Amino acid sequence: MMNQDLSTRARASLPGGVSHELRYRDPYPVFIDRAQGGEKWDVEGRRYIDFKMGSASQMLGHCHPAIVEAIQKQAERSVFSADCHTREIEWAEWVNRLYPSADRTRFTASGTESTMLALRLGRAYSGKDHVLRVEGHFHGWHDHALKGAKPGSDQVPSLGIPDAINDLIHICAADPQAMESALQDDRIGTVIIEASGANYGCVPLATDTLRALHDVVRAAGVVLIFDEIITGFRWSPGGRQARDGIVPDLTTLAKVVTGGLPGGAICGRADIMELLNNATVRNGFGPAVSHKGTFNGSPLIAAAACAAMPLLANGEAQAQADAMAERMRDGMNAAMKRQGVAGIAYGDSSIFHVFFGRDRLDGLGPAEIRGLPKPLVKAYRDGMLSRGVDMMAYTSGLTSSAHTPELIDEALLAFDDTLSEMIR
């Protein structure tokens, strides 16, 4: 079976031939057949070094034996029964132990559902409908998350979202003064921040700046949500908040929290999270904040998550992944220098980005950092892919604890080669 043939077939049954708009690729995407560790193979048998890693979900590498075994064992007992079970307690206890902001945890079915629920809780607790978000930060695809998601624009990048909802969403720069002045509007009761900075840190958010943003929100008495869907269990076992000691009221999680399976979580302060408790009542109904979802906390996912947690809790997996991303960044910077290409490879933790055209990001805003010409980005991504290296999105990639120095050095050869082709 060839990738091109599958794409033709897919486009007749799936809009664009895909299930997620970022999987679309011209002329056609590769169709992956299997994956192991830091590698994957397509239906034509071609091997790729993977820096997408399940959109950042496979922190322990593809098909980690402990996770595969946990899924197999659980599938034999019960795939799903929509009942309470012991694994969800164990799983929540792990999250509550590792996350400084977590007194209670509630499981959801995706990261998007986590930010949707966090905003609902923020609004319920504050009694205010208006939300402040940071320019370019990504929080999923629900109606309240899209305005402001594109850096440099307050346009809503989708039809179908009512103006009445967009009118409730305010946008400010990742700058404490800008946030302070936006919070003068006392209709705002909730602030949401992508803990890495926009797009998994493509637009970096310095620790001092995050701390200052936190302090401004605290001073305004507004509910603060950290979206740690990327940084959670990756920047440290307790995410960015534990690593840098900056604690929000609510935290959204997905990707790694589930052991890399579909799902998500939200955790936070007891007095806010307890609004989800059936014992609370509003207008004669309980709980005060409604949250349902057939597959929340499913035993299959809980089993994978509980297998992953001990492997993520001591920081060794993160240290290995971080070291591999650093090796990648160092090697990319050395290659650009060697070839006389202006550019910079940068990033935090187990994430690496590359910006072409300048060797410093200083003075560039989010729209400029995310604004590399599309043909350049495509040439880079296609060049890497044709040499057997798959990236996450834009010019970014992520490592896992399964990436080895040998894989990184092989990927660096592909980078070197791609660069020469791009400047030829």
Question: Which residue in the set 39, 50, 88, 194 belongs to the binding site for ligand PLP (CB under 6 A)?
Answer: 194
Question: Which residue in the set 7, 55, 251, 396 belongs to the binding site for ligand PLP (CB under 6 A)?
Answer: 55
Between the CA of residue 169 and those of 110, 180, 197, 290, 319, what are the distances in Å? 22, 16, 18, 21, 37
Cα 249 to the chain's mean position, in Å? 19
| Closest distance to ligand PLP from the beta carbon of 412 (Å) | 26
The pair of structure tokens assigned to 356 is 């072409």
Could you say whether residue 248 binds ligand PLP (CB under 6 A)? no
Q: Which is nearer to ligand PLP, 7 or 112 (CB)?
A: 112
Q: Which is nearer to ligand PLP, 38 or 140 (CB)?
A: 140
Q: Which is nearer to ligand PLP, 305 or 408 (CB)?
A: 305
- Per CB under 6 A, the segment of 9-17, 106-114, 373-381, 394-402 that binds ligand PLP is 106-114
The pair of structure tokens assigned to 49 is 């070094």
- Per CB under 6 A, the segment of 28-36, 62-70, 138-146, 153-161 that binds ligand PLP is 138-146
Could you say whether residue 140 binds ligand PLP (CB under 6 A)? yes
Q: What is the DSSP string of 184-235?
A: TSTTEEEEEEETTSHHHHTS---HHHHHHHHHHHHHHT-EEEEE-TTTBTTT
Whole-number Å distance between alpha carbons of 411 and 391? 11
| Closest distance to ligand PLP from the beta carbon of 88 (Å) | 19
| Closest distance to ligand PLP from the beta carbon of 234 (Å) | 11
Could you say whether residue 139 binds ligand PLP (CB under 6 A)? yes
Number of chain residues interacting with ligand PLP (CB under 6 A) = 14
Could you say whether residue 265 binds ligand PLP (CB under 6 A)? no
Taking alpha carbons only, the member of 71, 140, 94 closest to residue 233 is 94
Q: Which is nearer to ligand PLP, 195 or 412 (CB)?
A: 195
Could you say whether residue 322 binds ligand PLP (CB under 6 A)? no
- Per CB under 6 A, the segment of 67-75, 226-234, 361-369, 396-404 that binds ligand PLP is 226-234
SS3 for 299? helix
Q: Which is nearer to ligand PLP, 191 or 407 (CB)?
A: 191
Could you say whether residue 108 binds ligand PLP (CB under 6 A)? no
Q: Which is nearer to ligand PLP, 265 or 408 (CB)?
A: 265
Whole-number Å distance between alpha carbons of 306 and 88? 9
Q: What is the DSSP string of 52-94?
A: SHHHHT-TT-BT-HHHHHHHHHHHHH-S--SS--HHHHHHHHH
The span from the first CA to the last CA of the chain, in angstroms, equals: 34
Question: Which residue in the set 112, 190, 296, 401 belongs to the binding site for ligand PLP (CB under 6 A)?
Answer: 112
Cα 421 to the chain's mean position, in Å? 31
Question: Which residue in the set 119, 254, 305, 411 belongs to the binding site for ligand PLP (CB under 6 A)?
Answer: 254
Whole-number Å distance between alpha carbons of 91 and 97? 10
- Per CB under 6 A, the segment of 28-36, 77-85, 212-220, 223-231 that binds ligand PLP is 223-231
Q: What are phi and psi of 344, to 5 degrees?
A: -145, 135
Could you say whether residue 138 binds ligand PLP (CB under 6 A)? yes
Between the CA of residue 262 and those of 98, 100, 248, 253, what are the distances in Å? 21, 24, 25, 12
| Closest distance to ligand PLP from the beta carbon of 107 (Å) | 13
| Closest distance to ligand PLP from the beta carbon of 281 (Å) | 30
Question: Which residue in the set 50, 135, 227, 416 belongs to the binding site for ligand PLP (CB under 6 A)?
Answer: 227
| Closest distance to ligand PLP from the beta carbon of 409 (Å) | 28
Could you say whether residue 268 binds ligand PLP (CB under 6 A)? no
Could you say whether residue 115 binds ligand PLP (CB under 6 A)? yes
> Residues for the chain: how many in total?
424
| Closest distance to ligand PLP from the beta carbon of 312 (Å) | 18
For ligand PLP, the binding residues (CB under 6 A) are 55, 110-112, 115, 138-140, 194, 227, 229-230, 254, 264
